[in-house]
Amino acid sequence: MIGRRSFFRGVLVIGIVMLLGACMKFDTLPQLEIRVVDENGSVVSGAYVALFDSKIEWDNARNPVQVWRRTDQEGKVFFVDLQEMAYYVYARFDGKDNSFGGVNLSEPLRLNQKNKIEIEIR
């Protein structure tokens, strides 16, 4: 009988541990949602967007930190699993890009935050 009690106690303990494990909160890496608009403020869907970790790479539009993405119907693209840094953003569509203005984020991205920015292309 002692054995049976141990068994059921063991099952209970393991169940609780698993439940606690499932409830554990882990840090989420920074996320960045970019909305691309044109000079009229209209959303641009299908624009190509990439992130770079330096101005030199941005200038050459090569060696992005992640694969290139395209904006959806709402002109948005969503990057996840980023680092806590101020990335350089490049967006391009139909001969227009954002090279005329601010290209890097004003401040580094933060953990557990979904950061949102708007990029204008001309």
Partner 1 sequence: MRLISHLKFCRILLVLIICSGQVVSAQDTPDWNKANLKDSVITLLLKYQDLHNKLNIHADPIVERDFTRLFSNPKVQVISYLEGNSKLVKISIEEYIIRLAELYPDGFTAGIDPFRISIDLPRYDRNNRYIIRARVNIKYSGISKGVVFTTSQRILLQIAFLLTNNTPGNFAVYGIDLPAKGQDFMALSLNPALTGFRNSTISKDERLSLRMGNSFHAGISYSHYFGNHLGIGTGIRYSRYSGSVGLDKIDPLGSFNPNFNEVTVQNDLWFAEIPLFISWRSNPGRRWGAQADIGLSGGIRMYENMATSATNANTGITMLNVISDADWISQMNRVDIGFIGTLSATCRINNYARILIGAGYRQGLSGLDNNTRADYVYSKYQGQYNPLWGAPGKTVNQALLLNIGVLVLLNKEVN
Residues 22-41 vs partner 1: string with x where CB under 8 A? x-x-x--x-x----------
Which residue in 42, 54, 80, 116 binds partner 1 (CB under 8 A)? 80
DSSP string, 29-70: PPEEEEEEE-TTS-B-TT-EEEEESSHHHHHHT-S-SS--EE
Q: With binding defined as CB under 8 A, does residue 21 bind partner 1?
A: yes
Q: Hey, what are 41's tokens?
A: 């403020």
Provide the 3-class DSSP secondary structure of residue 90.
Answer: strand
Q: Residue 24 or 40: which CB sits closer to partner 1?
A: 24
Binding to partner 1 in span 46-75, by CB under 8 A? 48, 50, 61-70
Q: How far is the CB of 98 from partner 1 (least distance, A)?
A: 15
Q: With binding defined as CB under 8 A, does residue 6 bind partner 1?
A: yes
**Edge-to-edge strand ranges of the sheet holding 48-52:** 69-70, 48-52, 88-93, 96-97
Q: With binding defined as CB under 8 A, does residue 82 bind partner 1?
A: yes
